[in-house]
Amino acid sequence: MMASSYNAKDEDGHITVSGPGGGTLRSKKPENTAFKQQRLPAWQPILTAGTVLPAFFIIGLIFIPIGIGLYVTSNNIKEFEIDYTGVDMSSPCFNCSQNFSWNSTRPCTCTIPFYLDQPYENNVFMYYGLSNFYQNHRRYVKSRDDSQLNGDLESLMKPSKECEPYAYHENKPIAPCGAIANSMFNDTLELFYNDPNGTKIQIPMTATGIAWWTDKHVKFRNPTDNANLTAVFQGTTKPVNWRRPVYELDTDPQNNGFINEDFIVWMRTAALPTFRKLYRIIPKKNSMVPTLLRGNYTLEVVYNYPVRSFEGRKRMILSTISWMGGKNPFLGIAYITVGSVCFFLGVVLLIIHHKYGNRNNSADIAN
């Protein structure tokens, strides 16, 4: 047997083998560089009372005022909510919730009176809210064809397998395909102001400007720019649970088909089972008059969306906004909590340092 000899490891981490069949083998040792051998200069702070205590107090003094400001701003946002699921027998929508299903041919209408005890200034946003609806289920989230929604003609006629079992119906491709589109919220909500004279005035609302700009102009497109969407979607069929095809969602050609903003808002799935989505905007028309006056109102609902099968709830929300968005006290509470904890810890550590710090210094001097 022929012997081979190993030389010492080179600085670059290689091993040289001498003798027959010798060569250079790769060692598992990292290369001799400052980065791989962890010899780079580093800052290693020494935590002392003189650095830790001021840091705790500064964080507390900064976070607490910010938290109070955020919390007060959130509380100043006006919000009104109505649950119109119709679970209780006293609810105006009880009959609709009992007798309505996806297969119902005639929509049910219910009227809900309510009172606003304070006027709503500036623009008012109307949301619809759903509870116990899990849009975050993995198979549900994947059940869509983004190429089809982006206007690809081939995907329009041959939907992705991810859309199954909502890809084809009666041997025709479904447009838009998938479970998300098939379960689109389709209740109709209208708001009326009951004038003291007895007149019923409909509140004008806009259906555009409710979707994200990137969704409206980048992610969602109709197959062609042809104004006749009926011809464009020829050969396709509507989702199973829809009452009308996608090219009849709106009379406005800039808000019809795949670029309909109600549809776009629904397709952006929610992370939690209880969520709200923007439905309409009530624009402010007169700077001298509130958008919604204090008084009696009526909400008229065309009840198209059944939720009893999954024990869900439906609600309508009227809300104003501030510079930080909608009503959400969590951020303010979080800032106040973190700031208070830091300030409290600073006080505790200051007391401990004052009580035991001098004793340790004296013991060190004595030694």
With respect to residue 51, please indicate whether it lies within any of the assigned structural domains. no
With respect to residue 12, please indicate whether it lies within any of the assigned structural domains. no
With respect to residue 297, please indicate whether it lies within any of the assigned structural domains. yes
Query: Phi then psi for 226, rounded to 5 degrees?
Result: -65, 130
CA distance 70 to 329: 7
Instruction: Please report the pLDDT score of residue 286 as a whole number.
Output: 83
Query: How many domains are contained in the chain?
Result: 1
Instruction: Please report the pLDDT score of residue 89 as a whole number.
Output: 85
Q: Which residues does the chain have with pLDDT short of 50?
A: 1-6, 8-9
Instruction: Please report the pLDDT score of residue 327 as a whole number.
Output: 86
With respect to residue 129, please indicate whether it lies within any of the assigned structural domains. yes
Q: 260 lies in which domain range?
A: 79-331
With respect to residue 95, please indicate whether it lies within any of the assigned structural domains. yes
For the chain, give the number of residues.
367
CA distance 119 to 214: 33
Instruction: Please report the pLDDT score of residue 21 as a whole number.
Output: 54
Candidates 331, 311, 346, 304; CA nearest to 106 is: 304
Contact criterion met (CB below 8 Å) for 291 and 204: no
With respect to residue 65, please indicate whether it lies within any of the assigned structural domains. no
With respect to residue 193, please indicate whether it lies within any of the assigned structural domains. yes
